[in-house]
Structure 1
Amino acid sequence: MHKPTISFLFFLLVSKFVFSQNGNTVYRKELTITTENDNYNFTKADRYYSNGFFVKYQWLANQNKKAAIKLRRVEAGQMIFNPHLNRRSLSQVLEQQDRPYAGWLYGSYGETSVYSNDRVVQWDAIAGVVGPASKGEEVQTKYHQFIGLYKIYGWENQVQNEFGVNASVRYYHPLSISNGFTMHATGKAMLGNTFTNASVGVLLKTGKMEKESSTSFFTGRLGSAPKDRRHHAEFVFFLEPMLQAQAYNATVQGPMFRENKGNYVSELNPFIYVVKTGFVVAGPAVSFSAYYHIKQREAKSMIDPLEVYGAFALSFRFR
């Protein structure tokens, strides 16, 4: 069976599951599995941000008068980074290396608060490890062996080990809210010895959407829906362009507090742009999302001007 046929049948199956659910049930918990990969842009090349895999569990917190809805979450994930070339031969790969090999393995705890005036605040406390202890080399090598892809060279030049502690916050301020269209000013910041950066931009959403306090985009549709307590099917298309200032990135510059950072490290571009676009389709108990991520090269040494990768996420909600 051809891959397009398989993809089409999968989408039909997900759509049937999403749109054929009972919307009267109130769900309080959600499990989301997300996969990100640069091969999802059909380039067949593992370069720069090569692969990410994340498992997130969130639940409805005790509500207070300040927030229309409040969620808590825990997440675990791994991110793998490669240079422009990672095949053919070790000598050729190292000769053309334009950013370090790196892995980032982490766990986090966070909260989302959506207010009655459509403001959204999200924060996360994150702890993990960058370097060989993240097992990026082992995961990528075994995965390539399992699916019969090419042999990877060059992991000898990954950054060194360091334990990382980071905190992130995201704020969405409503600029325009109407039936079928929303626009938020967006501010994001991350502080720690693994990643330190700040971003500003806008978030545009359109489609068949519920309010911010009950949409699949922010809250996973946990809790009761407004008015008749029934969640209807959603289809949300979104576009989020941002300008980011970078202060530190251990996957590019190596460990912050180690003198020996690795055999190869790079210098950051201080300012880059990032564009994220995609869609979310959701029923009461299941959501499916797909998005495309375009990022200006984060290291000055990188050959390609852009990092491009895609992602798919599937969410299941429970009582």
Structure 2
Amino acid sequence: MFKPTIAFFVFLLTATFVFAQSDTAVFRKELTITTENDNYNFTKADRYYSNGLFFKYQWLPKQPHNAKLVQKLHRAEVGQMIFNPHLNRRSLSQVLEQQDRPYAGWLYGSYGQTNVYSNSRVLQWDAIAGVVGPAAKGEEVQVNYHKIIGLYKIYGWENQVQNEFGLNASVRYYHPLTVTNAFTLHAAGKATLGNTFTNASVGFLLKAGKMDNEISTAYWTGRLGSAAKNRRHKTEAVFFLEPMLQAQAYNATVQGGMFRSYKGNYVSELNPFIYIIKTGFVIAGPLASFSAYYHVKQREAKSMIDPLEVYGAFAVSFRFR
């Protein structure tokens, strides 16, 4: 149980140290490292969405913005996600008897943009390419990680979904309903289309705290391109809540590859509608940001034993010229 606590304080101490740096420098690039894990909810189980690790690089273009598009950010990301059933220890026979969703890994790279408009509208999009199945190396990462830190042996990866290359596109739009200096409420819509994930979501994004406007807030990586002394707050502290209702059409980590006739030894049927609640905070200074958030997600497969998937995340961002 020390893993999430140690990660939290390492990230927090690192971010706190760099918050004290210059408030006159202008930075145009940012690197973000994010770790997601179901153990960050202080349980001892690797179930459902078990682990995610992501590296994201964002940068400002050199061309000037037009009157309506006041902030434009480019984004490149690589990441891996690992999915397990309810039980993955004790013995192979017991695990396979109680398997309630497939084992799966998803390894991907993406390019996207964040566009912030003068009326506080935000549009994000990403083009994503990756692979689901053994080529994603989910088994190797999880098994070897457990060996290194002395955790229990993992059983059942024989029943992971089979390899399939995936092409996906996603878009997220946030429309302002209420915007003040300390409180914002956006209507939110999201959609993903592809042979790995196809879904659509609607909901709200509520942000509150000591925060800059939508153009400059660290929530949208808006701290690039201007000096800290020119912002509303030298240090931001933003708390957010984002409840969403999602319609699922396809998920290859649950159903296997869309275009494969043999999808794996075990696949599941999707729940057509689920809810997802994300909440957390972002603390940002001139040179760095630290964020932590918590996900509560209704089970995405009808066969899953637990009614909810719960996981947490920590992220640290560093800005540079």
Q: Same fold by TM-score, threshold 0.5 exceeded?
A: yes
Task: Go from structure 1 to structure 2 and tell me whether the alpha carbon gap of 1:151 and 1:112 turns closer, same or farther (over 3 Å shift).
Answer: same
Q: What CA distance in whole angstroms lies between the structure 2 residues aligned with 1:68 and 1:172?
A: 15
The alignment yields a C-alpha RMSD, in angstroms, of: 1.8
Q: TM-score, normalised by structure 2?
A: 0.95
Q: Specify the alignment match of 2:31 in structure 1.
A: 31
Letter in 2 for 1:64: H
Letter in 1 for 2:293: Y
Letter in 1 for 2:88: N
Task: Go from structure 1 to structure 2 and tell me whether the alpha carbon gap of 1:238 and 1:18 turns closer, same or farther (over 3 Å shift).
Answer: farther
Q: Give the CA deviation at 1:224.
A: 1.3
Q: What CA distance in whole angstroms lies between the structure 2 residues aligned with 1:251 and 1:16?
A: 37
Letter in 1 for 2:58: Q
Q: What CA distance in whole angstroms lies between the structure 1 residues aligned with 2:213 and 2:264?
A: 48
> What are the residue-to-residue correspondences of 1:66-145 with 2, within 5 Å?
66-145=68-147
Q: Specify the alignment match of 2:52 in structure 1.
A: 52
Deviations 1:115-172 (CA, angstroms, capped at 9, x unpaired): 1100000000000000000000000000000000000000000000000000000000
Q: What CA distance in whole angstroms lies between the structure 1 residues aligned with 2:266 and 2:178?
A: 46
Task: Go from structure 1 to structure 2 and tell me whether the alpha carbon gap of 1:30 and 1:270 turns closer, same or farther (over 3 Å shift).
Answer: same
- 1:170 equivalent to 2:155? Answer no
Task: Go from structure 1 to structure 2 and tell me whether the alpha carbon gap of 1:46 and 1:174 turns closer, same or farther (over 3 Å shift).
Answer: same
> What are the residue-to-residue correspondences of 1:144-159 with 2, within 5 Å?
144-159=146-161
Deviations 1:212-258 (CA, angstroms, capped at 9, x unpaired): 11110012411115993686100000000000000000000000000
Q: What CA distance in whole angstroms lies between the structure 2 residues aligned with 1:5 and 1:297?
A: 26
> What are the residue-to-residue correspondences of 1:12-27 with 2, within 5 Å?
13-14=13-14, 16-27=16-27
Q: Give the CA deviation at 1:3.
A: 7.8
Q: What CA distance in whole angstroms lies between the structure 1 residues aligned with 2:232 and 2:104?
A: 45
Any gaps of 5 or more consecutive residues in structure 2? Answer: none
Letter in 1 for 2:127: A
Quick check: 2:212–2:232 contact (8 Å CA) kept in 1? Answer: no
The structure 1 residue matched to 2:265, chosen from 263, 266, 269, is 263
Q: Give the CA deviation at 1:16.
A: 2.9
Quick check: 1:18–1:287 contact (8 Å CA) kept in 2? Answer: no
Secondary structure of the residue aligned to 1:190 is: strand
> What are the residue-to-residue correspondences of 1:172-251 with 2, within 5 Å?
172-224=174-226, 228=230, 232-251=234-253
Q: Give the CA deviation at 1:10.
A: 3.7
The sequence identity of aligned pairs, in percent, is 79
Greater displacement, 212-221 / 163-172: 212-221
Letter in 2 for 1:145: K
Letter in 1 for 2:270: L
Q: Specify the alignment match of 1:273 in structure 2.
A: 275
Q: Specify the alignment match of 2:65 in structure 1.
A: 64
Q: What CA distance in whole angstroms lies between the structure 1 residues aligned with 2:265 and 2:30?
A: 42
Task: Go from structure 1 to structure 2 and tell me whether the alpha carbon gap of 1:265 and 1:9 turns closer, same or farther (over 3 Å shift).
Answer: closer
Q: Give the CA deviation at 1:50.
A: 0.2
Q: TM-score, normalised by structure 1?
A: 0.96
Quick check: 1:164–1:194 contact (8 Å CA) kept in 2? Answer: yes
Deviations 1:75-104 (CA, angstroms, capped at 9, x unpaired): 000000000000000000000000000000
Task: Go from structure 1 to structure 2 and tell me whether the alpha carbon gap of 1:172 and 1:33 turns closer, same or farther (over 3 Å shift).
Answer: same
Quick check: 2:218–2:289 contact (8 Å CA) kept in 1? Answer: yes
Any gaps of 5 or more consecutive residues in structure 1? Answer: none
Q: What CA distance in whole angstroms lies between the structure 2 residues aligned with 1:206 and 1:157?
A: 44
Quick check: 1:24–1:231 contact (8 Å CA) kept in 2? Answer: no
